[in-house]
Amino acid sequence: MSDDEPRWLNTEESEAWFALAHALVRLPTALDTQLQRDEGISHFEYQVLAGLSMAPEGNLRMSELALFADGSLSRLSHVVKRLEQREWVCRVPDPDDGRYTRAILTDKGRQKVVEAAPGHVAEVRRLVFDPLTKGQQRQLRDIGRRINNAIGPEDTCPGQS
């Protein structure tokens, strides 16, 4: 086999890859379905609200929030606009650097996270943790870390807000 030849997956690797790929596609849909049904919000909207709720003083630069929520700044901006209309989030210029914008969780937004979290956590537990042993849960954590390390650092866009 030359260096130009692809390293094809063997049968066991193919089965593992297709199982992972299938789960990666289905899990976000399942989480989104639960949140839409029970709370009227998308999984991405929940991630935004949860990210802000965990941040000091309930606020983050939009660029930091985009990284936390695994979304582009453009997508985040559209979602935050909808969350502002519901009075769950507001945006203000960053007092430390006016080139940036900060998203701030409002009291109504914090209440929404408090209401949504129990159902969301129950669904995550049902879909991800309950089917696994404690050892498999640790393996899942380690596998996720290794894959993320192989992917490399998350991209940031300095100067964007």
Specify if 28 maps to a domain.
no
pLDDT given for residue 80 in this prediction: 97
Cα–Cα dist 104/136, whole Å: 37
Specify if 104 maps to a domain.
yes
Instruction: Report the number of distinct structural domains present in the chain.
Output: 1
Q: Cβ(154)–Cβ(67) under 8 Å?
A: yes
pLDDT given for residue 155 in this prediction: 58
pLDDT given for residue 1 in this prediction: 58
Residues 92-104: tens digit of each pLDDT: 999 999 899 999 9
Specify if 19 maps to a domain.
no
Neighbours of 52 (CB within 10 A): 27
Cα–Cα dist 24/78, whole Å: 24
pLDDT given for residue 153 in this prediction: 82
Q: Cβ(120)–Cβ(127) under 8 Å?
A: no
Specify if 71 maps to a domain.
yes
Residues 60-83: tens digit of each pLDDT: 999 999 999 989 999 999 999 999
Beta-carbon contacts of 83 under 8 Å, excluding residues fewer than 6 positions away, are 45, 48, 49, 89, 109
Collapsing DSSP states into helix, strand and coil, what is residue 119? helix
Specify if 75 maps to a domain.
yes
Range of the domain at 62: 34-150
Cα–Cα dist 143/124, whole Å: 18
Which residue has tokens 């086999």?
1
pLDDT given for residue 87 in this prediction: 98
Specify if 7 maps to a domain.
no
Cα–Cα dist 120/137, whole Å: 18
Predicted structure pTM score: 0.85
User: For position 117, which CATH number holds?
Assistant: 1.10.10.10
Question: Which residues face 61 on adjacent strands?
Answer: 102
Question: Which residues face 91 on adjacent strands?
Answer: 103
Specify if 10 maps to a domain.
no
Over the chain (161 residues), what is each successive 10-residue block's mean pLDDT?
Answer: 85 97 96 98 96 95 94 95 98 93 97 98 98 97 95 59 36
pLDDT given for residue 2 in this prediction: 66
CA distances from 139 to 10, 24, 25, 136 (A): 22, 17, 20, 5
Q: Cβ(120)–Cβ(34) under 8 Å?
A: yes
Specify if 27 maps to a domain.
no
pLDDT given for residue 158 in this prediction: 38
